[in-house]
Structure 1
Amino acid sequence: MSRKTATIAAIAGLAFATTMFPGGQNAAALAQAASEQLTAPAPVEAPELVPEQIEFVAQEVVQPLPAPAPAPTPATPVQTEAGSLHELVGMIDTSSPMSQEMRCLAGAVYFEARGEALAGQLAVAQVIINRTEDGRFPRSYCGVVAQPGQFSFMRGRRMPAIREGSAAWERAVAVAHIADKGLWESEAGRAVFFHARYVKPGWSRSKTRLAQIDTHIFYR
């Protein structure tokens, strides 16, 4: 109802009350009520809520993707595609400086097996490596080589002088690198003991024989 319509209705009501009840408290009460209705503010109508129109995009929305991270450059693989151990030995760079540990490993190969075939030299190096992984022996190449009573070429804890310019030393260095990096599987496998085949030490009877390579027999 609008304010104008309410005013008219109030006036009509007041006139009717005055006519029907010309005197007394009832007429006064009715007159007061009509007056209050005339002066009361008109009710405020709630605004009409119109839903916001949804807009549809006619074209496909394409969200740009972040640029892919560059793929890591693969490390240069170690050249191991040799047809033989002899060929692989020829691929090894023996001119770079050696650590003390590698010198101990190559020195053991040189003194123990420099006159043998490469398979025999690799087997000796493999035994030294295997010992460093066995709790019964020292954890380093130099520790294994210098362990008392293990290698007859040692002078106490000192290694004899090496002819480092010789072909035998170059081969021993190459074999040591091959064994250290695991580039060629040795026939010695997991052996941790060996001796020359022309001797028969008492301890050999309690070990498991794994292989005989050139002049050495290898045990686990």
Structure 2
Amino acid sequence: MTIMQRAAIIAAMTLSLAGLAGAASAETPDRTAIPAPASAVQVINTVAPIAVPAPRAAPALQMVQSLPVSRPAALPAVTEDDGDYDSLAEAVAAQQSAEIDEAQRCLAGAIYFESKGEPLAGQLAVANVIINRSKSGRFPADVCSVVKQRGQFSFVRGGEIPSIDEGRTAWRTALAVAKVAMAAAWESPAPKALFFNTPDRRPGRNLTRIAMIGHHVFYR
């Protein structure tokens, strides 16, 4: 082999080795990490951490805990009957006392003779006429004197009330009505009346008619 032939072979081998080295460098890329720009690193580093708020106590629970505990008010003590009645008949029936004073006896006599056949409301209205007169200043100042006043009640004889059979039911009713009237235990059905008569008789004075109860008309 000549010197020229050997030089050609060495040159060809050199070229082949150079090609192989370039291919190897293309197939195996450099794995060194590329650093991020400085501005991006600063932005990431300056982001503030997210604050998680602490749990709060429920306000409604706090309000309930702060309210004072109230105790129910004591119930009023039960008392006995105060003397009020649901009806006039009940008020009359409640008068059981055997004691009778003079005013009650006079008033019961007037009720008995003037209205023993009338309903209870009519008997009470007659009683109230006599009581109203005793308080008016226009008539005598006590019940017995009003009943016995001359020329006022036709049943009066010689200034006295006739005797009555006190065993009769009508008398016991009249006496109970008298007690109700004098105790003001029931409202008068003819308020402030000072006069009464039967419907067939006209009052002789300029009077105001208040009510008609049973067979009597009441005026003031």
SS in 1 for 2:155: coil
How far apart are residue 125 of structure 1 and its match?
0.3
Structure 2 partner of 1:184: 186
Gaps of 5+ in 2: 1-78
Q: Are positions 1:132 and 2:138 aligned together?
A: no
2:174 to 141, 165, 172: 172
Q: Which has the larger radius of gyration?
A: 2
Pick aligned residue for 1:108 from 96, 103, 110? 110
In 2: Cα distance, 1:126 partner to 1:97 partner: 21
- Matched with 1:22 is none
How does 1:79-118 map onto structure 2 within 5 Å? 79-80=83-84, 82-94=85-97, 96-118=98-120
**Mapped partners of 2:81, 2:136: distance in 1:** 29
Within 5 Å, which residues of 2 pair with 1:42-81?
78-80=82-84
What does residue 74 of structure 2 align with? none
- Hey, what does 1:207 align to over in structure 2? 207
Say if 1:158 and 1:132 are closer, same or farther in 2 by CA, change over 3 A.
same
Shift of 1:99: 1.1
Q: Which amino acid aligns with 2:83?
A: Q
- For 2:132 and 2:108, the matched residues in 1 are separated by 15
Q: How many residues align?
A: 142
Deviation digits for residues 158-180 of structure 1 (CA, Å, limit 9, x no counterpart): 11111101110111011001000
Question: Given residue 172 of structure 2, which amino acid in structure 1 is its aligned partner?
Answer: E
Q: Deviations over 1:29-57 (max 9, x none)?
A: xxxxxxxxxxxxxxxxxxxxxxxxxxxxx
Q: Which amino acid aligns with 1:89?
A: V
Query: Secondary structure at the residue paired with 2:136?
Result: coil
Partner of 1:151: 153
Q: 1:8-27 to 2 correspondence within 5 Å?
A: none
Residue 219 and residue 201 in structure 1: after superposition, are their counterparts in 2 closer, same or farther (change >3 A)?
closer
Distance 2:81 2:134 in 1: 26
- The residue identity in structure 2 corresponding to 1:134 is S
For the structure 1 residues 76 and 107, does the alpha-carbon distance in structure 2 shift closer, same or farther, using more than 3 Å as the test? Answer: farther
Runs of 4 or more above 4 Å deviation? 75-78
What's the counterpart of residue 195 of structure 2?
A: 193
For 2:124, the aligned partner's letter is: L
The 3 A distance-change label for structure 1 pair 199 and 211 is: same
Residues 142-171 of structure 1, C-alpha deviations (whole Å, 9 max, x = no match): 100011110011102011111101110111
Gap change, CA 1:78 and 1:100, over 3 Å in 2: farther
User: TM-score, with normalisation over the residues of structure 1?
Assistant: 0.62
Q: Give RMSD over aligned pairs.
A: 1.6
1:77, 1:134 → 2: CA distance? 32
C-alpha distance in structure 2 between counterparts of 1:129 and 1:76, whole Å: 29
> When the two structures are superposed, what TM-score results if normalisation uses the length of structure 2?
0.62
For residues 185 and 201 of structure 2, the distance between their equivalents in structure 1, rounded to whole angstroms, comes to 31
Q: CA deviation at 1:92?
A: 1.1
Q: CA 1:78–1:147 in structure 2 vs 1: closer, same or farther (change >3 Å)?
A: farther
Gaps (5+ residues) in structure 1? 1-74
Q: What is the aligned-residue identity percentage?
A: 50
